Amino acid sequence: DDMIRKHPKIFAQTDLVVVNKVDLAEFVEVDPEGIMDDYRRINPHGAILLTAA
Q: What is the pLDDT of residue 50?
A: 97
Q: Convert 1-53 into a string of H (helix), E (strand) and C (coil).
A: CCHHHHCHHHHHCCCEEEECCHHHHHHCCCCHHHHHHHHHHHCCCCEEEECCC
Q: What is the pLDDT of residue 7?
A: 97
Q: What is the pLDDT of residue 35?
A: 96
Q: What is the pLDDT of residue 52?
A: 94
CA distance 11 to 46: 9
pLDDT tens across the length of the chain (53 residues): 899 999 999 999 999 999 999 999 999 999 999 999 999 999 999 999 999 97
Q: What is the pLDDT of residue 1?
A: 80
